[in-house]
Structure 1
Amino acid sequence: MTRVARSFLPHPFLTVLLIVVWCLLANQVTLGTVVFGAILGILIPQGTAAYWPGAPRGIKAGKFVVYLLVVIWDILVANVQVAWIVLTRSNPAMRTRWVTIPLELRTPEAITILAGTITLTPGTVSADMSDEGHCLLVHALDAASPEEVRDEIKHRYERRLKEIFE
């Protein structure tokens, strides 16, 4: 992207996302809604660009779409699993675990997406991050072992985020 285009659209993905979110909030897709969404989508990133000096460039959109599909699927499956656990198990039978996830991700945006993904998936929640940003502390509602949870998060989410943000 050229320098002029980058100053006009400092975060093109955010611009598109804001347009879509505005249309969803307005609950209609009309010319006026899209135009107002575009105005918001241009002004908000321009107004906040100074606070994102090291924003990632060149995110792989195709891989990000695949990541979103995986997350949506995992949320649906986890909803059913958590409902089953709540309906069929008594409290003492639950195997709650605190899990430390060592991170290979270094960009704040990727770590934020990972922590959000973990929290959005029913049955797990991101509770804390180390001061250096090298580990996440995650609580799992029901897990056979902490290693199983750690390996699944690293393989299913962190690996994909590394590919998206490399």
Structure 2
Amino acid sequence: MNFRRVLPSLPLTVTVIAFWMIMVADLSLVQWLFAIVLGVVIPLFAARLDREFARIGNVRLVPKMIGVLIWDVIVSNVEVARLVLGRESNITPGFIWLPLDIANIHGIAALTSFITLTPGTVSAALSEDRKYLLIHVLNLKDADEVIAGIKRRYEVPLMEIFP
């Protein structure tokens, strides 16, 4: 019998067992047996998943990216407050499709998070081929300007962080 076939990931097995025992806070034999069963079964299913591992490139850009995100969140909060407290007719919501140059799924996940964390924009959908991201914008005046800003401020640096 092939050991790897039964336990494809020993670290995952140990982690599952440890977390189960911590969650139940009961050291009885029944809980240990159940934890072991979970520790064997869960990695078997997890091994079947198509996983993409994160490749990290230039991590020196991370502090700058965090600074840009914090600044954008602050500025967007002020802008959204101004819009919400102003006349409703001044708000022009809309959807845009952002063409993606970034291919790394972890970079795409970071990009969608940055967009959603910034008030006034929400990531709505990713196309099946991962080449377009649907974004809802609270006040859409110029779609090309929004796309250019997202690409310049987020996507280009993320492509260096996640090559």
TM-score tier (shorter): 0.5 to 0.7
**SS of residue paired to 1:101:** strand
Corresponding residue to 2:127 among 105, 126, 130 = 130
**In the alignment, structure 1 residue 68 sits paired with structure 2 residue 70:** no
The alpha-carbon distance between structure 1 residues 102 and 87, as it changes in their structure 2 partners (threshold 3 A), is same
**In the alignment, structure 1 residue 110 sits paired with structure 2 residue 107:** yes
| Structure 1: gaps (5+ residues) | 1-6, 10-46
Q: Distance in 2 between matches of 1:93 and 1:140?
A: 14
**In the alignment, structure 1 residue 139 sits paired with structure 2 residue 136:** yes
Task: Indicate the residue corresponding to 1:153 in structure 2.
Answer: 150
Percent identity (aligned): 38
Q: Distance in 1 between matches of 2:60 and 2:114?
A: 18
Task: Indicate the residue corresponding to 1:81 in structure 2.
Answer: 79
Task: Indicate the residue corresponding to 2:15 in structure 1.
Answer: none
User: How big is the shift at 1:57?
Assistant: 2.9
Question: Is the 8 Å Cα contact of residues 101 and 136 (structure 1) preserved in structure 2?
Answer: yes
Task: Indicate the residue corresponding to 1:57 in structure 2.
Answer: 55
Runs of 4+ in 1 over 3 A off after TM superposition: 49-54
Q: Distance in 1 between matches of 2:134 and 2:155?
A: 14
Task: Indicate the residue corresponding to 2:6 in structure 1.
Answer: none
Q: Distance in 1 between matches of 2:55 and 2:141?
A: 39
Question: Is the 8 Å Cα contact of residues 124 and 138 (structure 1) preserved in structure 2?
Answer: yes
- Could you tell me which amino acid in structure 2 is paired with residue 68 of structure 1? I
Question: Structure 1 length as normaliser, TM-score?
Answer: 0.66
- Could you tell me which amino acid in structure 1 is paired with residue 70 of structure 2? I
| Structure 2: gaps (5+ residues) | 1-8, 12-42
Q: Distance in 1 between matches of 2:158 and 2:150?
A: 11
Question: Structure 2 length as normaliser, TM-score?
Answer: 0.67
Give me the CA root mean square deviation.
2.4
Question: Is the 8 Å Cα contact of residues 97 and 145 (structure 1) preserved in structure 2?
Answer: no
Question: Is the 8 Å Cα contact of residues 56 and 165 (structure 1) preserved in structure 2?
Answer: yes
Larger Rg, first or second structure (1 or 2): 2
Question: Is the 8 Å Cα contact of residues 98 and 135 (structure 2) preserved in structure 1?
Answer: yes
User: How big is the shift at 1:61?
Assistant: 2.0
